Structure 1
């Protein structure tokens, strides 16, 4: 399938792509590259827990960015601030207000960096996942961009025209680390509780990779 030629919105010239992980961003990165758009990766995900999981996801993203010589901006982990903002939301469900807070925090930092460093468009790979609410993600992105003059959040639907299928193909081709929960401590807790009810073992961090047989 021939890729669609992408164009940045609002006469955009330079894109800052917030990346949550290599599996979600792989297709997004290749689509942007194929359209000859000037962009850099911004990795700011203080929600990811524990630290080992965070480093695994970041390292995989760096590996893929280096393959294509894409600039990679490694932002602060900032985990304590994330837990501070999540206080009182510990039992909220996936896609609830805790997730909105999480998206807001990450996109606000992305928009600020873009404003201070010559980018005029921001977007995120988060929306390509079918487990996420795209309207929730886009709402956070648009709110964050609106705080800074000249910054636009690109609401492009990365799932369409085979994007989700290519996301999986690229993950298998590159043998990316396979994440088994959204990322935060509470999603890890809830996923393990669900697995226990289904008679499945707990998540074992750092063991599963796309394209390899289950261990």
Structure 2
């Protein structure tokens, strides 16, 4: 007898009677659960992929194409924004050795959300949000502060602070990633997080990260050999 309870999603509603959502997406694994929740709630949304922090370019393209593939599967519009990585490095000057979740990350979120808010205001969106907050590696308060600050610059635009982790959201994020065999990102994304992650790996007797190699679901495949 199967005692597993059928999962029922709650009906989500945009804040302040919003009609059109622009979802800033950082990658397919983080946005998969967010997208499925929005689809199940019949919310009109578009993906906005703006992540010039991701380094190197090969990693950026893989993450973008995985996200684009999942959006196309569900017929969700996908906006491919500029990869203005030189500007990101300019803004990061002096913050090269700041810790994760520190002021460099605040700068990074501000940069991405400001661009998201600008696009939303110019193209008829009244709500923005991001998939970044679903990751347990991120500081949700820090992310929400950046999102709220970006939206406040445009009258009539709101940043949705919905907690995507709650009620099993983080667990479903992992389930969807395995089901879709998404590319597995092994560091946050920027050159400095890659540097620090590799430094930690070497110090703990592990190999450095190999770009474009690991995918969700491969663990199970290896175990069954």
TM range (shorter): over 0.9
Give the match for residue 84 of structure 2.
Answer: 78
Aligned residues: 215
Note the 1:51-130 alignment, pairs <5 A. Answer: 51-130=57-136
In the aligned structure 2, how far is the partner of 1:168 from the partner of 1:36? 23
Give the match for residue 183 of structure 2.
Answer: 177
SS at match of 2:23: strand
Give the match for residue 199 of structure 1.
Answer: 205
Deviation per CA, 1:106-140: give whole Å up to 9, x if none.
00000000000000000000000000000000000
In the aligned structure 1, how far is the partner of 2:127 from the partner of 2:84? 24
Give the match for residue 11 of structure 2.
Answer: 5
In the aligned structure 1, how far is the partner of 2:67 from the partner of 2:84? 18
Task: Indicate which of 169, 178, 195 corresponds to 1:189.
Answer: 195
Q: What TM-score, normalized by structure 2, do the two folds share?
A: 0.95
Q: Return the index of the structure with the highest Cα Rg.
A: 2
SS at match of 2:112: helix
In the aligned structure 2, how far is the partner of 1:11 from the partner of 1:160? 22
TM-superposed deviation, 1:68: 0.3
Question: After TM superposition, where is structure 1 displaced by more than 2 Å over at least 4 residues in a row?
Answer: none
RMSD across aligned C-alpha pairs, in angstroms?
Answer: 0.9
SS at match of 1:73: strand
Give the match for residue 209 of structure 1.
Answer: 215
In the aligned structure 2, how far is the partner of 1:207 from the partner of 1:74? 24
Q: In structure 1, list runs of 5 or more residues that go unmatched.
A: none
TM-superposed deviation, 1:7: 0.3
In the aligned structure 1, how far is the partner of 2:8 from the partner of 2:191? 39
SS at match of 1:40: strand
TM-superposed deviation, 1:10: 1.2
In the aligned structure 2, how far is the partner of 1:135 from the partner of 1:169? 25
TM-superposed deviation, 1:11: 1.3
TM-superposed deviation, 1:152: 0.1
In the aligned structure 2, how far is the partner of 1:76 from the partner of 1:51? 12
Give the match for residue 45 of structure 1.
Answer: 51
